[in-house]
Structure 1
């Protein structure tokens, strides 16, 4: 069996990407891309945390951000309590400090007892998993659980900024992805959507930074070609469930499309890119 056609494990009907070892490796690598592009910073918000403060990581995934954030603060003598939430624990690190807690829970339904619990909440890349109509609930729940004076930070991809069109295969794949995201109700333009959403929810001092992440073999200024290919292969289930959107008819055709796009990207290193945003705001 072709290595790309092996059965993938999906933990949720709602979340479009797998929850297996291959996706775990991609998520951890993606974390390093964000970290490097944003100046080797785990957080952009002007935090003044102290020992005993509680931090929330929403959509924790592998938990790599929480683990590194905990250790970075520990080196400065600050011991935090970090609650990580996700709809699956399949990818979460098995070994972690006792101050890091994982709860299987969506961000749209946080415990009543968490009201004003956290000094800081961090969330990354929920845009492809949440319908645009659900975002107001996401923001309101995060607002509720953050203590007055606390900060929220959201890192997202600008889906409409996909610029992977350097040949016939990648052009077709890019069009297919944008069609799929729109069909799934994803927010294609986070740059104009999230800041007013945060302000409407009650947050103040809304700020953002953006970086352009290129696709190159070494991943020096963004993602490696194989990482981009892995992302799109992970989305195959959603594409095929929708009948291929008139672009592909079979899984084999989809795999051929991704392989062709990867070859085109290899021939045009650092000519394709996507915009990554980080937004942060304070609860008054």
Structure 2
């Protein structure tokens, strides 16, 4: 089985690569998620002041952190931001001096960060996590938050996948579910995350949900339109080609070329459907005072 890939993968556990192509995808993804949540960069009811410390866990390209810092600065608040990831390959080359980037794992944050942060934000770690890792992450975020601090985890629904709108996309959904099952990936994060946050000691647990179309546009009451181009959704699954092939194609595909053709066909189905969508959850909670 030929893999035909030059993508850079940081770990066996995380199904997505860390390279320039993935950085571009992450930045587009950031734009459409932010737009889906009415251009809000955070959902948690956190009130920050100058000098407060904010953590972005699994920062990736750092685009959320840079925009969040700029938004606060525009409102007269200069915050101190720590951005961590398991690799520095996607960190921005330029950033304000009060935004710091370092190589650290979400499951093992620095010991001296105890009760340091007023707010901790983490986005889309679903394809790196299983049950035990999720619990480690939540425990670490609880440890580094100040009493009264807020956590926000933005994740995607992966149990009820709503983009199987044709024969090819149904094949892809079968493949995804088989791969996620083999990796122990938790799919129902809209119910799972509030539960483990409560178990970890967080209070004021809540969430907001958004269903976002793939390959279509949708207008809300203000005539604001959300555009999700199916090619970027294809690129998400294309980025997982190496793990798919390492898993033997999960009974759906046998070669990289066959997988590429499947994704191309899925794009056509999504572009011709008004039902294909994905669901995002912004889950938030507070560490008790």
Give the TM bin, normalised by the shorter chain: over 0.9
- Provide, for residues 187-239 of structure 1, a one-character-per-residue CA deviation record: whole Å limited to 9, x for no partner: 11011111110011010000100000111256843521101110010011111
Runs of 4+ in 1 over 3 A off after TM superposition: 217-220
Q: Which residue of 2 aligns with 1:20?
A: 19
| 1:108-127 aligned within 5 A | 108-127=107-126
Q: Is 1:278 aligned to residue 282 of structure 2?
A: yes
Indicate the SS of the match to 1:229: helix
Deviation at 1:179, TM superposition (A): 1.3
Indicate the SS of the match to 1:264: helix
Structure 2: gaps of 5 or more residues: 219-224
Q: Number of residue pairs matched?
A: 280
| 1:127-276 aligned within 5 A | 127-216=126-215, 220-221=225-226, 223-268=228-273, 270-276=274-280
TM-score calculated relative to the size of structure 2: 0.93
Contact conserved, 1:182 with 1:188, CA < 8 A, in 2? no
Structure 1: gaps of 5 or more residues: none
- Provide, for residues 85-139 of structure 1, a one-character-per-residue CA deviation record: whole Å limited to 9, x for no partner: 1011111111000111111111111111000000000000011111122111111
Deviation at 1:279, TM superposition (A): 0.5
Contact conserved, 2:58 with 2:106, CA < 8 A, in 1? yes
Deviation at 1:5, TM superposition (A): 5.8
Contact conserved, 2:54 with 2:118, CA < 8 A, in 1? yes
Q: Is 1:56 aligned to residue 42 of structure 2?
A: no
- Provide, for residues 34-69 of structure 1, a one-character-per-residue CA deviation record: whole Å limited to 9, x for no partner: 111111100111111111110000010000000000
Indicate the SS of the match to 1:102: strand
Indicate the RMSD between aligned Cα atoms, in angstroms: 1.5
Q: Which residue of 1 aligns with 2:222?
A: none
Indicate the SS of the match to 1:154: strand
- Provide, for residues 133-162 of structure 1, a one-character-per-residue CA deviation record: whole Å limited to 9, x for no partner: 211111111000000011000000011132
